[in-house]
Structure 1
Amino acid sequence: MANSVDPPSSPHRQESALAPGLASWEGGQADGPAVGWEEHYWDSEPVAAGAMSRRARMSARGPYRAAVPARIANLTITLPPAVAAEAEDALMEIARFDAELTSALPAAGGEGQDEHGELAPLAAVLLRTESTSSSQIEDITAGAKALALATVGERTGPNAAMVAANVTAMQAAVAMSEDLSVDSIRTAHAALMAGQDYAAPGRFRTGAVWIGGMAPTPHTATFVPPHPSWVEAAMNDLIVFCHRTDVPVLAHAAIAHAQFETIHPFADGNGRTGRVLVHAMLRAAGATRAMTVPVSAGLLTDAGSYFDALTAYRDGDLTPIVTQFAHAAFTGVTNGRVLAEQLQGLYATWQQSLHARRDAAAWTVLPMLIRQPAVTVRWVADHARVSQPAAQRAIDQLLTAGVLTPASANRRNRVWIADDVTAALDDFAARTGRRG
């Protein structure tokens, strides 16, 4: 999580006088992504930051160092053969898993596809678990039930609402893969941070940010991303890199993600937006078609190593971040397969329990509950394209079959939930080490 303040007004190095184009960019190293450094003066009085010890106040005075990002548009990618081979194997596993899911469960919505164009509702489930995991890396937790309720408009607390917004942002990755640009990244951020004005949704930051240090100034931070005057040029350079076709796919996505996190272009939500970028790149490269492979869930199993890999990247070493992504892909796919098997078994049990005419709306709703385990009468009517009386009848039949239970005793704005699905999703989270 980054802190933010107004931009320093007196940089020790006069980079703010340079044009924000690549021609004037002097940061970084020619042979790797290592950041350069420049000093900025901190011109706010430490006392303005609140109560501080004398030692902390002295540490918060004077100049501090901020990164200058390397240019990577034409970066030469050199990886140890073993790491390159592991990344290629991981990519093959991602593609294999993606293909498996096209027939894992019956389609919701008719004609072999659901309303979002996915081939099976399980694809949307994995997108949701990936979104939850991506948020959890930044310590934003929400149980599966709370997330499902938030998705249908129930008030379940700010964390669930933030994770629900992350689902929307992950869905934006599909569109981003068709037109990967600075504007599409801003659009994804706007979806992710909607309603959170402090984060300036969809707009690059205008202030300094810093990571770690637990201090109200950047002087003791673990990492201080670039001054905002570098952000636009750095993002344009990143987009050029993202459109290259001469870099192995998983390494390409890992490096792009690490560079995005180094630039830290937004006031908040950079980690989640950067992981949306990963999925957009995997889809654009053809590695995935129907779903979001749970890479973030894999990263979460060893978040400390993930952050260490980002630090190594900023020091000029590509190997750790590519290795982390390869391991995350294997772990995420393994975990995803377990979830898929659980949901397939659950769906088979539902089919045996539901005693309704084959043309009843309940059968249309049944696979939708894998994707969206909390429903209202209005939701069922809208998504199953039936009248509200027919939607209520479908819910009643699913209630009798034990598929749904009331989410609460409140009969007004009644919500029903498929508890077995949320339990399976929480099991998935527990296997990644997440705690809701």
Structure 2
Amino acid sequence: MSDVPPLRDWAPHTAEVRWWRQRTTRGPRVDRLVREVTVSRPPYIAEREYPMDRPLRAMTTASVGDLSHLDLVHGRTLKALNHLQLRTESVDSSKIENVDASLADYGRALLGSGANASATSMASATAALSRMIREADTTRKVSAEAMLRAHHDLFRTNPDEAHRAGRFRTTQNWVGGSDYSPRDALHVPPPPETVPDYLDDLFAFCNRDDLPPVVQAAIAHAQFESIHPFIDGNGRIGRTLIHAILRRRRSTRHLTVPIASALVTHRDSYFAALNDYRAGNASTIVAMMATAIRIATAESWTAATNLLATRERWGGALPEARPGSAVFRLLDLLTEQPILNVELVERSVGLGADEAEEAIETVAAAKILTRVRRTRKAPVWLATDVLHEVEELSTRIQDSARRLRD
């Protein structure tokens, strides 16, 4: 980022000095001596307009056009693409928060088969993202209730945060700095008693129909991150808000392009764009969002082609798998659910336990499925071709984002 202050195109946050006293005696003495904290008060935005210059307007229009075209061509007929995108988005959104795990462990967590804490957190992020999109799709609005349910999905299995799952904060929080006080914090959100009014204002903004969807999603995301209404999980829930708005506005009807995969590439620039927003310049985050959407959409076309080619290749490896047969239906399932166990196959394909096991063994013999190691008692199987595409989609998006920046 340049040292030159950005031009203001949005109302900047204001600073307010508040009394502070540490609630715990832990941490260094210097934290216990803090008596004041300067909080950052965002503007209210429910009715605010956002003027754009011609280049930025063209960027946002092109990005939503690309997104809608992909959704029109592949959204209804290739459900596997959305499943792949959801996984890619959840994995990379978690990585922005330094939460990472192998895809095998992530898959076990999705099945509830036991996994490490990071993998479980990534699976919970997938559930939260899916909920926010689903509720925006069915209710045609973005609501506090849906967000609280998504937050509960994110933290209900976390032993340290389960007691706060699905609850907005009632205490002061901060970003960066000390663990024990807001000393040297990078951002101190507004006081807890102001959070309800700020959220009412934010959801009113999210449910408008007179703003370009990408602008609305980018500004709502930045405003949410500035409010920081949860003690933990603000980044991941804030990025689900982007997709909820795009779905509510019908920029997408079926797909979830992995925007986080582009953002994680330039993590520092992404955080700097949020700081620009607080300084009164929204164009940085709007342009970054439009670019991320265009890159993720372009690479998702390749993912769609690869998924179709993979399914065709599987059919060639198992010519006896005729339409309607158990193996044929299992192959279709694998494009959507590349991580499975016998119970999932029984439930999704409509087979008995013996039939499900036989179908899995047939597909595994063709080297389409691989059993995860150390799952002998409760076997978990991976369709590595599809999981490889999850990784490849993320890699292609990140490579494209780097080339564009260079």
Instruction: Quote the residue 1:190 is aligned against.
Output: 152
> How far apart in 2 are the matches of 1:366 and 1:144?
20
> For 1:312, which of 276, 291, 298 is the aligned residue?
276
Shift of 1:237: 0.5
Asked if 1 retains the 8 angstrom alpha-carbon contact of 2:22 and 2:181, the reply is: no
Asked if 2 retains the 8 angstrom alpha-carbon contact of 1:176 and 1:185, the reply is: no
Asked if 2 retains the 8 angstrom alpha-carbon contact of 1:305 and 1:324, the reply is: no
> Which deviates further from its counterpart, 255-264 or 296-305?
296-305
> How far apart in 2 are the matches of 1:45 and 1:203?
20
- Show CA shifts across 1:315-374 (max 9, x none): 111110100101111121123223323322222211101143423211111122122212
Unmatched tracts of structure 2, length 5 or more: 1-7, 400-406
Q: For residues 433 and 157 of structure 1, do their structure 2 counterparts lie closer, same or farther at Cα, with a shift above 3 Å needed?
A: farther
- Show CA shifts across 1:208-246 (max 9, x none): 111122453112001001111110000000111112111
1:332 aligns with 2:296: yes
AA of the residue aligned to 1:169: A
Asked if 2 retains the 8 angstrom alpha-carbon contact of 1:104 and 1:122, the reply is: no
Instruction: Quote the residue 1:368 is aligned against.
Output: 333
1:392 aligns with 2:365: no
> How far apart in 1 are the matches of 2:19 and 2:347?
57
Asked if 1 retains the 8 angstrom alpha-carbon contact of 2:9 and 2:281, the reply is: no
- Length-normalised TM-score, structure 1: 0.84
- Show CA shifts across 1:179-221 (max 9, x none): 3211121112111222235261111101111112245311200
Unmatched tracts of structure 1, length 5 or more: 1-29, 106-119
> How far apart in 1 are the matches of 2:371 and 2:182?
49
Query: Would you identify which runs of 4 or more consecutive aligned residues in structure 1 move more than 6 Å?
Result: none
Question: The residue matched to 1:238 in structure 2 has which SS?
Answer: helix
Alignment of 1:223-238 (within 5 A): 223-238=187-202
Instruction: Quote the residue 1:41 is aligned against.
Output: 19
Shift of 1:128: 1.5
Asked if 2 retains the 8 angstrom alpha-carbon contact of 1:73 and 1:241, the reply is: yes
Instruction: Quote the residue 2:84 is aligned against.
Output: 125
Shift of 1:31: 7.8
AA of the residue aligned to 1:150: A
Asked if 1 retains the 8 angstrom alpha-carbon contact of 2:31 and 2:183, the reply is: no
> How far apart in 2 are the matches of 1:60 and 1:432?
46
> How far apart in 2 are the matches of 1:235 and 1:103?
34
Shift of 1:63: 0.8
- Show CA shifts across 1:143-194 (max 9, x none): 3222122111222211111110111111112213423211121112111222
Which has a greater percent of helix? 2
Alignment of 1:256-295 (within 5 A): 256-295=220-259
Question: The residue matched to 1:39 in structure 2 has which SS?
Answer: strand
- Length-normalised TM-score, structure 2: 0.89
1:86 aligns with 2:49: no
> How far apart in 2 are the matches of 1:215 and 1:338?
43
> Which deviates further from its counterpart, 421-430 or 240-249?
421-430
Q: For residues 103 and 41 of structure 1, do their structure 2 counterparts lie closer, same or farther at Cα, with a shift above 3 Å needed?
A: closer
Asked if 2 retains the 8 angstrom alpha-carbon contact of 1:298 and 1:330, the reply is: no
> How far apart in 2 are the matches of 1:181 and 1:416?
37
Asked if 2 retains the 8 angstrom alpha-carbon contact of 1:144 and 1:423, the reply is: no
Instruction: Quote the residue 2:393 is aligned against.
Output: 428
> How far apart in 2 are the matches of 1:31 and 1:319?
7
CA RMSD across the alignment: 2.1
Asked if 2 retains the 8 angstrom alpha-carbon contact of 1:31 and 1:76, the reply is: no
Q: For residues 35 and 59 of structure 1, do their structure 2 counterparts lie closer, same or farther at Cα, with a shift above 3 Å needed?
A: farther
> How far apart in 1 are the matches of 2:256 and 2:321?
34
> For 1:403, which of 360, 365, 368 is the aligned residue?
368
> How far apart in 2 are the matches of 1:184 and 1:32?
28
Instruction: Quote the residue 1:73 is aligned against.
Output: 46
AA of the residue aligned to 2:103: A
> How far apart in 1 are the matches of 2:215 and 2:22?
41
Asked if 1 retains the 8 angstrom alpha-carbon contact of 2:82 and 2:254, the reply is: yes
> How far apart in 1 are the matches of 2:11 and 2:331?
49
